[in-house]
């Protein structure tokens, strides 16, 4: 149980590190925040009708931002898990190769034992 928790924490930290490392994502998020500030300033000068429009547009922009963040997080998660799967596959292939080598060594050892156990006849 403890190993599973450690693996989950390592996976989570690797994912968060990958997200934090993605400079382009944070630059885009910063530019969206700046546009949002400009948007709010622009509509804050309008009257009551403009306020309802501003709230509707803010809700729409928040939904778009949420979708973009979810999409980017999904891409990062797929990338991280893809890398983890490749490493896992390589490890399995290496273990399979070792098993084959051990089988070969076992067959050779059995052949030697059989050869030593059979009585030699002097002809």
pLDDT in tens, 30-83: 788 788 777 766 656 655 566 777 778 888 888 888 888 888 888 887 777 777
Question: Considering the domain boundaries, does residue 74 fall inside one?
Answer: yes
Question: Considering the domain boundaries, does residue 88 fall inside one?
Answer: yes
pTM for this model (two decimals): 0.35
Distance CA 82, CA 70 (A): 18
- Which are the contacts of 65, defined by CB distance < 8 A and separation ≥ 6? 32
In the predicted model, is pLDDT for residue 93 greater than 90? no
Question: Considering the domain boundaries, does residue 122 fall inside one?
Answer: no
Q: For residue 17, give its domain range.
A: 2-117
Number of domains in the chain: 1
In contact, 18 and 12? CB cutoff 8 Å:
no
Structure tokens that stand for 14 in this block: 């690797």
Question: Considering the domain boundaries, does residue 91 fall inside one?
Answer: yes
Question: Considering the domain boundaries, does residue 123 fall inside one?
Answer: no
Mean pLDDT value of segment 14-33: 73
Tell me how many degrees the CA angle 20-24-26 measures, rounded to the nearest 5: 55
Question: Considering the domain boundaries, does residue 48 fall inside one?
Answer: yes
Q: What is residue 113's predicted lDDT score, i.e. its pLDDT? A: 93
In this structure, the dihedral spanned by the alpha carbons of residues 68, 72, 74 and 76, taken in order and rounded to 10 degrees, is: -170
Tell me how many degrees the CA angle 92-95-100 measures, rounded to the nearest 5: 125
């Amino acid at each position: 149980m403890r190993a599973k928790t450690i693996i989950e924490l390592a996976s989570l930290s690797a994912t968060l590190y990958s997200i934090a490392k993605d400079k382009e994502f944070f630059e885009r998020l910063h530019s969206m925040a700046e546009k949002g500030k400009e948007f709010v300033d622009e509509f804050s000068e309008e009257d009551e009708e403009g306020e309802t429009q501003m709230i509707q547009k803010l809700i729409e922009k928040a939904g778009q931002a949420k979708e973009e963040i979810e999409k980017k997080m999904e891409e990062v998660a797929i990338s991280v898990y893809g890398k983890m799967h490749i490493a896992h596959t390589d490890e399995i292939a290496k273990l399979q190769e070792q098993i084959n080598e051990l089988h070969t060594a076992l067959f050779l050892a059995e052949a030697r034992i059989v050869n030593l156990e059979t009585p030699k006849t002097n002809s």
